[in-house]
Amino acid sequence: MKWLKFAWLNSLRNRRRSLVTLGIAALGTAAILLAGGFAIFTYQSLAQAAARGTGHLVVASPAQFNKDEDTPLQYGLDDWQRLRTRMLADEQVRQVLPRVEFSGLISNGEKSTVMMAAGIDADAEFAIKGPFLQIRAGQVLSSTQQRAVMLGEGLARSLKAKPGDALTLLASTTEGALNAIDVQVVGIFSTGIAEMDKRSLYLDLASAQALLATQRVSSLGVFLDRMESTPAAQARMQALAPQLEVRTWEQQASFYRSVKQLYNRIFGALGVIIGVIVVFVVSNAMAMAIIERTREIGTLRALGTLPSQLLQSLALEGMLLGGGGALLGALLALGLSLLLYVLPVEMPPPPGYSRGYPLQVAIDAGLYAATLLAMLTLAMLASAAVARKTVAKPIVDALAHT
């Protein structure tokens, strides 16, 4: 404690230099924490969106994941109702949603265009996922509505369709024959991704199976009580259906993995650069202080102070400068992160998206602790490295320094 007091008093000897060092360390720490918090928030948002879109687990035939189908539902699930009932008996499973995915043509009588359709259990789908689509017109699909569809905003614009209009869906059946059904538009939605909105279509499960002339489904999406339950639930679901493949949401979320790898590289490099800058600033401040105090160090050595004690005092001084700046930076980052919850800032739409999103920065205790500890350690080591040569200088040379 005595040496810490000495380090504190020494840091006050040139207050302007100490304040500049504290300020740069604070800004560097705040930048690292804000950038890291933004990355963590992005990961969490993408993870939740991926899990909500497909389910925490996706159950399907192995060929469904690894091969291309020659005909719709070639690798679909036959006895899926019984499997769904067995999965729902698991206490961590909230819902199991069947899904039929296929492509085909949609026509308004004058114009036809390609569609990417999904047959869903509408009531359960929207109940478990919540408002995952932005409804532009009409209403959401209901299981009580037969031969009804929801169109993506771009697809509806292409067909000049609006709620209440009649359209025709055309697709190949599981036997390879062409089939068609007439449907009515009940709603128009936006996913936020313009390219998806140009092709996306939702219809009820029964109508999709009627169009494809089958009772199969493409896959089952298993929704759990929380994200952390995914690994254990995957093992249990795989044991229930060993002939099928059970994949997690992360295995299916290629966009999530790509963004995480990119952000890890970008923000990792940014953190290293800022850390190096802070270390150089602290080292420079300590080097100037040590040069100014060389004769003083020689005097203390002559009075019997050990080099290790002087090195300890100077290292603690650097730790106070770097650590104090890091603490101020952490408080600054925390304040700005909380302010964004009170005064939201809207980010512009990312490339390929049609709407923006609120800017938020996650407050992660692990990130704050790791950053503060790294700043303290680096500042202390940098100060000790700068001071090592001076405190080891012969006493006569130190006293003669000018």
230 and 264 housed in the same domain: no
- Write down the number of H helices and E strands in the chain: 15, 12
Do 43 and 128 belong to one domain? no
Could you give the count of Cα atoms lying within 13 Å of 341 in the half-sphere of its Cβ?
A: 9
Indicate whether 216 and 67 sit together in one domain. yes
Instruction: Decide if 248 is inside a domain.
Output: no
Q: Is the same domain home to 223 and 291?
A: no
The range of the structural domain enclosing residue 211 comes to 62-243
Q: Looking at this protein, which amino acid is placed at residue 268?
A: G
CA atoms 147, 150, 155, 159: torsion sign: positive
Query: Does one domain contain both 230 and 288?
Result: no
What pTM does this model have? 0.80
**CA-based nearest residue to 365, from 386, 342, 341, 337:** 337
CA distance 277 to 283: 10
Residue-level pLDDT, tens digit, the chain, 402 residues: 666 666 666 666 767 777 888 888 888 899 999 999 999 998 988 888 888 888 999 999 999 988 888 888 999 999 899 999 999 999 999 999 999 999 999 999 889 999 999 999 988 888 887 766 788 899 988 877 889 999 999 999 999 999 999 999 999 998 888 999 999 999 999 888 888 899 999 999 999 999 999 999 999 999 999 999 999 999 999 999 999 999 999 998 888 888 899 889 988 888 888 888 888 887 777 777 777 777 777 777 787 777 777 777 777 777 788 788 889 999 999 999 999 988 888 888 777 676 777 888 999 999 999 999 988 888 888 887 777 777 777 777 767 666
**368: closest CA among 24, 32, 26?**
32
- One domain for residues 74 and 195: yes
Tokens of 193: 């991704």
- Does 206 lie in the same domain as 70? yes
Residues paired with 358 in a beta bridge = 346
- Indicate whether 54 belongs to any domain: no
- Residues 348 and 391 placed together within one structural domain of the fold: yes
Q: Is the dihedral of CA 379, 384, 385, 386 positive or negative?
A: positive
Q: How far is CA 3 from CA 95, 310, 398, in A?
A: 62, 9, 21
- C-alpha dist (Å) from residue 240 to 82, 83, 192: 11, 8, 36
Q: Which two tokens stand for residue 236?
A: 């249990």
**Is residue 205 a part of any domain in this protein?**
yes
Residue 246 CA neighbour count, 13 Å, CB half: 21
Structure tokens of 41?
């928030």
Total number of domains constituting the chain: 2
